[in-house]
Structure 1
Amino acid sequence: MGTLTLRDMTAQDIPGVSAVRITGWQAAYAGMIPQDHLDGLTVEADIERRRKIFGANPDIQNVVADRDGAVAGWGVLGPCRDADRTPSDGEIYALYVAPGLIGQGIGRALMRELVSRARRADWHTLYLWVLEENHRARRFYERAGFTPDGERAPWTAGEISVPEIRYVHRPAADPDLRTGIGSGAVAEPA
């Protein structure tokens, strides 16, 4: 199994993060997003995109789950992007675990770290968006203390629009970080 370390992402992690993200999309969203869209995703294109945006916003925190020097998972936290939210609201933009490592507690560890960082950033409320059909991720988030707040929005994948729902969590109200957090969620709002 190896040693799992959670740490800030570095530029050297970009290829590993992109590999986890793209393989995560292709595994998690099969049947929810058009297959031709998933098949068109490449690690190389994601690396190029990620290199352009990495570190551009100091309020965004990229966290990697490192297992013996390799990226096993990745999560991103920052200010909530929704127009109806306040500066005291944060958002989990992404949480991915390498598909072959799902079920080993990496997702739980990343979620605990992101919620802990939200507390330290003094974000009183934490949001995330998840595809409505992504029942596995929704169960994971619900075990982590998130609940749907009733907001829905379309997300476009290729030429198809798929519905997302917003989840909410209040980190200050959850001092134990819910020890029952499930494993291996894959989600990303954008």
Structure 2
Amino acid sequence: MDVTLKKATLNDANVISNIYALSWKSAYKGIVPQKYLDELKLDFWVSSFENRIKNNLITAQIIYENALPVGCVAYGKARDDKFTDWGEIISIYLLPDYFRKGYGQKLLQTAIIDMKIEGYKNFYLWVLKENINARNFYESNGFICNDDECTCQIMQKQLVDVLYILTSDKHTELK
């Protein structure tokens, strides 16, 4: 099996959006309203990623298995002003058939290493509070939930994100 990573370009926005949508439909079942997931279009995130990549607002990496794109990580300089000089993991998504195969781990490691090279020592990310699988994944990689919360609504359902941090004084190297 050939597993490779590639930095995303503008031409990859469609691939990334497809991965996101299919991942959401699986990973967020029972968390995000089902009607929203059912109606979620595969191209929902295309313009967002075109803008973010074109304007260097994020870095995105795609992981391939035997030349098939199966996952993506997006990361970069913190978008939140209270985390100046921090790196942010914006998202990690995989196609459902590739959950729990170590690809999320490879994507997370790649993002952290890249951001360390850029000079970041501390990192944060937001996770849906109800997404126990993701929370367990990040905790197993040294991220600590600091109990800060952010809420949003999808189809009148309030969703809560919790903040996870990884600081240079709390970690050595990822597994």
**TM-score w.r.t. structure 1 length?**
0.85
Task: Give RMSD over aligned pairs.
Answer: 1.7
| 2: CA distance, partners of 1:150 / 1:45 | 30
In the other structure, the counterpart of 1:133 is: 130
1:132 maps to a residue whose letter is K
1:138 maps to a residue whose letter is R
Matched, 1:118 2:134: no
Aligned counterpart in structure 1 of residue 166 of structure 2, from 165, 169, 179: 169
| CA displacement at 1:141 relative to structure 2 | 0.2
Corresponding residue pairs, total? 175
Moved over 6 A (4+): none
| Offset from partner CA, 1:141-163 (integer Å, 9 cap, x none) | 00111001121110222322211
% identity of equivalent residues? 26
| 1: CA distance, partners of 2:83 / 2:59 | 19
| CA displacement at 1:14 relative to structure 2 | 2.4
Task: Assess if the C-alpha contact under 8 Å between 1:128 and 1:167 holds in 2.
Answer: yes
Q: What SS does the corresponding residue of 1:45 show, helix, strand or coil?
A: coil
| Offset from partner CA, 1:65-107 (integer Å, 9 cap, x none) | 1222221110011111223221x11111110111101121101
Aligned counterpart in structure 1 of residue 87 of structure 2, from 86, 90, 112: 90
Pairing of 1:26-175 with structure 2 (within 5 A) = 26-51=25-50, 53-86=51-84, 88-171=85-168, 174-175=171-172
| 2: CA distance, partners of 1:72 / 1:5 | 10
In the other structure, the counterpart of 2:13 is: 14
Q: Judging changes above 3 Å, is the alpha-carbon distance between structure 1 residues 85 and 78 closer, same or farther for their aligned structure 2 residues?
A: same
Q: Judging changes above 3 Å, is the alpha-carbon distance between structure 1 residues 59 and 122 closer, same or farther for their aligned structure 2 residues?
A: farther
2:115 maps to a residue whose letter is A
2:56 maps to a residue whose letter is P
Q: Judging changes above 3 Å, is the alpha-carbon distance between structure 1 residues 161 and 28 closer, same or farther for their aligned structure 2 residues?
A: same
Q: What SS does the corresponding residue of 1:12 show, helix, strand or coil?
A: helix
Task: Assess if the C-alpha contact under 8 Å between 2:10 and 2:54 holds in 1.
Answer: no
Q: Judging changes above 3 Å, is the alpha-carbon distance between structure 1 residues 143 and 151 closer, same or farther for their aligned structure 2 residues?
A: same
State the structure with bigger RCO (CA 8 A, min sep 6), 1 or 2. Answer: 1
Q: Judging changes above 3 Å, is the alpha-carbon distance between structure 1 residues 171 and 79 closer, same or farther for their aligned structure 2 residues?
A: same
| Offset from partner CA, 1:20-55 (integer Å, 9 cap, x none) | 10010010111111111111211133334433x242
**TM-score w.r.t. structure 2 length?**
0.91
Q: Judging changes above 3 Å, is the alpha-carbon distance between structure 1 residues 9 and 82 closer, same or farther for their aligned structure 2 residues?
A: same
| CA displacement at 1:122 relative to structure 2 | 1.1
Q: Judging changes above 3 Å, is the alpha-carbon distance between structure 1 residues 36 and 159 closer, same or farther for their aligned structure 2 residues?
A: same
| 2: CA distance, partners of 1:43 / 1:147 | 32
